[in-house]
């Protein structure tokens, strides 16, 4: 219970501060102790200790279909340790295994009733950027995750071969009470690519039809195209012969910058904006320098900010872009996307 009492003391300090009364944290703790009939804070904390017996953290169970692919992804790529496993081909039974990395523990199961495909696990890490850099040193061709900054922290999403999402989260560190987030902050992701800036710019703009998925378009998508000039249209040709315009090019500076207005699933009178910036990176043993793509979906105003929550899956599309840019197989979108249909 002492954690509850600490939160009570924190709120008491804030409420009194609003009334012009200043207390130290220790003074607030003593007042809370007195309110609960204890002589002092140490007495209250000791009295509360039996109610705080530690409990084991919940362990996510993720459905898998192939033991070797699971080991390749979780152990060889993500750096988890295979703690134990039961079953397998030799025993003619489904595999059930535990993998861990630090304090993060996952259970992987081939058993039909244990979990549904397309699950997710949230794993807190101290530094997402360091983990991102570590993963990019490993020769795993089926994932090339980016980092995005959300109001609740820095996030990197990796999708396993069975469409489960592993969300690595670096929490926002703050010593103050939670406050309403700034809803108009841009959605940002970055990708480190083997492609040159020229190849990456080409892939994002002129080859967009190779990585954009019909799940993120009006029904009957035939082709996606961007006219390569300021004032050009970002458009989608539909099966009924009509053209759906979802933006206008506002910046065309190959191979380093591209921007457009964005009206897909939004009121055209109140568009948001997309911006792409590219920069060269050292070759790191390659025959040519690579690149970093920085993506931003912003332009949120009071008139359109209500639409922002619809665009939480940019990472899925941009994983496909990164594969096209680097010449790798383009990953399929998860089942929850195709089953859910087009954007609202």
Give per-residue pLDDT as tens, 58-87.
899 999 999 999 999 999 999 999 999 988
Which residues touch 11 (CB under 8 Å, ≥6 apart)? 177
pLDDT at 88: 77
Q: Is 32 helix (H, G, I), strand (E, B) or coil?
A: helix
Among 53-57, 304-308, 317-321, which is the least confidently predicted range?
53-57
Q: Helices 41-48 and 25-35, interaxial angle, to 10°? A: 60
pTM, 2 dp? 0.51
Number of neighbours of residue 27 by Cβ within 10 angstroms = 15
Q: Mean pLDDT: which of 57-71, 151-165, 300-314 is highest?
A: 57-71
187-340 is classed CATH 3.30.530.20 = yes
Which residues touch 320 (CB under 8 Å, ≥6 apart)? 211, 212, 213, 330, 331, 333
Asked if 29 contacts 6 with a C-beta cutoff of 8 angstroms, the reply is yes
pLDDT at 90: 73
Superfamily classification of domain 61-171: 2,3-Dihydroxybiphenyl 1,2-Dioxygenase, domain 1 (3.10.180.10)
Asked if 327 contacts 321 with a C-beta cutoff of 8 angstroms, the reply is no
Tens digit of each residue's pLDDT (9 = 90 or more) over 259-270:
999 999 999 998
What is the residue-averaged pLDDT of the chain? 84
Asked if 112 contacts 121 with a C-beta cutoff of 8 angstroms, the reply is no
Of the pLDDT bands very low, low, confident and very high (cuts 50, 70, 90), residue 56 is: low
């Amino acid at each position: 219970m002492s954690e509850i009492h600490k939160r009570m003391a924190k709120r008491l300090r804030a409420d009194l501060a609003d009334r012009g009364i200043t207390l130290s944290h220790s003074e607030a703790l003593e007042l809370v102790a007195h309110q609960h009939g204890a002589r002092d804070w140490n007495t209250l904390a000791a009295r509360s200790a039996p109610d705080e017996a530690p409990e084991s953290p919940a362990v996510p169970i993720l459905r898998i279909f192939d033991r070797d692919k699971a080991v390749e992804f979780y152990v060889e790529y993500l750096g988890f340790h295979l703690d134990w496993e039961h079953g397998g081909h030799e025993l003619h039974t489904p595999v059930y295994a535990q993998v861990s990395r630090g304090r993060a523990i996952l259970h992987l199961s081939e058993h039909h009733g244990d979990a549904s495909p397309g699950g997710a696990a949230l794993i807190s890490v101290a530094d997402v950027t360091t983990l991102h850099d570590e993963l990019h040193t490993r020769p795993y061709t089926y994932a090339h995750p980016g980092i995005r900054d959300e109001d609740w922290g820095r996030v990197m999403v990796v999708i396993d071969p069975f469409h489960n999402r592993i969300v690595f989260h670096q929490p926002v560190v703050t010593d103050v009470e939670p406050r309403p987030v700034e809803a108009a902050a841009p959605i940002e992701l970055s990708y480190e690519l083997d492609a040159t800036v020229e190849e990456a710019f080409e892939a994002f703009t002129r080859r967009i039809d190779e990585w954009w998925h019909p799940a993120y378009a009006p029904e009957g998508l035939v082709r996606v195209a961007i006219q390569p000039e300021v004032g050009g249209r970002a458009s989608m040709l539909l099966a009924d012969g009509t053209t759906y315009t979802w933006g206008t090019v506002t910046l065309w500076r190959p191979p380093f910058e591209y921007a457009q207005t964005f009206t897909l699933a939004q009121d055209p009178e109140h568009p948001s904006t997309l911006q792409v910036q590219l920069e060269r990176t050292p070759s790191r043993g390659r025959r040519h320098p690579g690149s970093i793509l920085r993506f931003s979906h912003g332009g949120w105003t009071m008139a359109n900010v209500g639409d922002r929550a619809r665009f939480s899956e940019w990472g899925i599309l941009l994983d496909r872009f990164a594969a096209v840019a680097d010449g790798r197989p383009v990953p399929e979108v998860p089942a929850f996307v195709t089953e859910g249909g087009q954007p609202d």
